[in-house]
Structure 1
């Protein structure tokens, strides 16, 4: 079920179904007009096999919406044009056709990059057959799934004459923004598992304060 956000009486109300009355002040939500209309919060997780040419993140075990505690191990992979997920672990490179149904997704190729769109599958397959990704090379800390995915991204960048990305740079620029959004969504999801409405008070001070809280929780 979708998550909704309603602004009312200097508070942000998060719920799965908008109540007729504000649980904070008791006023009728419908009387607030357009500013109080419920806004649907889009789920940040995508079906990974439907996301071609993308960097995917999912829990190593289970799923984000069921059982993920915010600190469990994560696994990453790269999709080809058909949504097959290439991922690396202690058994070598896998080409997964299932199991990545709920992921954080970071698209890697823009629609105008026609040549790369056409070459992507061959590049990914050839890269995955490299000796660096044999099972015995795997190391949980130093040579893992993230190493594989980022090395492929840098392999593509080098073919385009672009500078490689460090792990820290790629994480900061591309992974963390999506991860923070997912974390906020999961916080709301867990809060609403135990109550009908989650209320975030807005401080006195008008639009700037309201906007600040919108950024914290959409």
Structure 2
């Protein structure tokens, strides 16, 4: 179910269904004009198999909305042009056509990257067959799904004359903005599972957004 936001009387009201009156001041929202019109929040989770040539993140078990507690392990993978997810674990590289229906998705190949658009599937398949990704090479902390995905990203970046990304730089620049936005949405989603509304003073909300600076990066990982 959607999460709505209503702005009124110096506060942001989060809810599932827009109330006729402001829960903060009691004012009639139906006569408050466009500034108080309910806005549907962007859901950060996507059907991963409909996201071609993308970097995906999902919980190792279950889904974000129903199971993730903020501390559980995450799993990552990369899609081909048809939404098949290539991901690596102790059994080697998998090619999954299901199981990633609720994922954080970070697009990799932009519409103007003509050569990559044409050769992405072959590149991904050939990369996945390398000895580095044999089952016996897997190590939970140092050689895992994240290693696999970042190695492919850096392989493509180097081929395009870009510098490789360290794990720390990759996490800070590209993952944290998306996971922080997702965590904020999950907090709202779970609060509204037990309460009709959440009222946040506008000044407090603006301060939180400035501190978190959680707007996902707009440029490609491959640039």
**TM-score, normalised on structure 2?**
0.91
Q: 1: CA distance between counterparts of 2:24 and 2:149? A: 47
Residues 109 and 192 of structure 1: CA distance in aligned 2, closer, same or farther (over 3 Å): same
1:170 paired residue number: 170
Matched, 1:69 2:30: no
2:58 paired residue number: 58
1:24 Cα deviation from its structure 2 partner: 1.2
Q: 2: CA distance between counterparts of 1:151 and 1:145? A: 10
Displaced runs of 4 or more, over 3 A: 209-218
**Aligned CA-pair RMSD:** 1.6
Where in structure 1 are there 5+ consecutive unaligned residues? 204-208
Please give the residue correspondences for 1:195-206 in structure 2 after superposition, counting only pairs within 5 Å. Answer: 195-203=195-203
* Deviations, residues 20-61 of structure 1 (Å, cap 9, x unaligned): 011111111122211111111011100000001110000000
Q: 1: CA distance between counterparts of 2:208 and 2:6? A: 13
Please give the residue correspondences for 1:155-166 in structure 2 after superposition, counting only pairs within 5 Å. Answer: 155-166=155-166
Please give the residue correspondences for 1:14-29 in structure 2 after superposition, counting only pairs within 5 Å. Answer: 14-29=14-29
1:199 Cα deviation from its structure 2 partner: 0.6
1:184 paired residue number: 184
SS at match of 1:6: strand
**TM-score, normalised on structure 1?**
0.93
SS at match of 2:132: helix
Q: 1: CA distance between counterparts of 2:175 and 2:158? A: 21
Q: 2: CA distance between counterparts of 1:213 and 1:18? A: 24
Q: 1: CA distance between counterparts of 2:34 and 2:205? A: 16
Please give the residue correspondences for 1:1-218 in structure 2 after superposition, counting only pairs within 5 Å. Answer: 1-203=1-203, 211-212=206-207
Where in structure 2 are there 5+ consecutive unaligned residues? 216-223
